[in-house]
Amino acid sequence: MIYIIDHKDSFTHNVVHQFERFDDVTCDNFYEINEDKLNKSKVIVFSPGPGAPKDYPISSGIYKRFKGKKKIIGICLGFQQILHCEKGKIIKQKKIYHGYQSKIKVTSANSLFKKNRKFNVGRYHSLKLKEPFAAKNFEITMRCAISNVAMAIENNKENIYGFQFHPESFLTENGNLLIKKILSA
C-alpha cells in the first residue's frame, strides 16, 4: 500500500490517481495521519502543496522516522521537504514557474533514468534548492536544461526519490512511466 500525505494541494489527487494505477493508495491530510495505515504502508509519498517545508513539521517528523525503512517519494513541496530534512536550504528564485512546461535533463549516470535524456515536464514552484547541496547517499540526478536548477534527487541506497517538477501534470511527458520505474526500483 502507498500512503500519500496531502499538504492541501489542488494537484494531490492527480498524484493519487497516478499512483493508483500501480498499487492501493491511501491519502490523508498531513494533520490527520492514520498511524496504523502509515505503519502498514510500503511507500510514503509527500504531496505538492503551498508554502515552504518549514510550515510542515509533522511531515518532517514522518520523514525522519521512516527514512531508510520505507521507500519515500517527494513531489514539488515534498521534494523540498526531503531536502529540508537533509539540511538543504530552500530559497526563493527570481523566475517563478507556475504552470510552466520546460525541458529537463538527466545529468547523472547513477540515475534510474538514462543519462543525457531530455524531456518536457510541468512545473509549479516559486522556491528552489540552494546549491551547493550535499547529503550522504543523495545525488541530484536531473536539472533544468536551461537554468540548471535541481529537478530530481535520488538516493538509491535508502530508496528516497524526489522531483521538483510534477510527474502527474498533463504537461509532463511519460509521467506514468517515470513513477512506474521509481515504484519498481
> Which residues participate in catalysis according to the annotation?
76, 166, 168
Q: Name, in order, each residue with C-beta under 8 angstroms of 26's C-beta and a sequence gap of 6 or more.
A: 1, 2, 3, 4, 34, 37, 41
39-98 positions binding other proteins, by CB under 8 A: 49-52, 77, 92, 96, 98
- Between helix 77-85 and helix 57-66 the angle, nearest 10°, is 60
Let me know: does 168 contact 11? Beta carbons within 8 Å.
yes
Question: Which stretch in 33-41, 108-116, 119-127, 153-161 sits in contact with other proteins by CB under 8 A?
Answer: 119-127
Residues 125-144 that bind other proteins (CB under 8 A): 125-127
**Considering just the CA atoms, what is the radius of gyration of the chain in Å?**
15
Contact track, other proteins, 151-170, x by CB under 8 A: ---------------x--xx
Comparison of 17 and 42: residue with beta carbon closer to other proteins: 17
Residue matched to cell numbers 520505474: 181
Binding flags for other proteins, 9-28, as an x/- string (CB under 8 A): xxxxxx-xx--xx-------
Alpha-carbon span 175 to 69, nearest angstrom: 26
> Residue 8, exposed/middle/buried by CB under 10 A (0-12, 13-18, 19+)?
middle
Q: Does 124 bind other proteins (CB under 8 A)?
A: yes
Interface with other proteins, residue 33, by CB under 8 A: no
For residue 122, the SS3 value is strand
CB of 41 to other proteins, least distance (A): 18
- Contacting other proteins (CB under 8 A), which of 122, 162, 167, 175? 122
In the complex, the residues that contact other proteins under the rule CB under 8 A are 8-14, 16-17, 20-21, 49-52, 77, 92, 96, 98-101, 122, 124-127, 166, 169-171
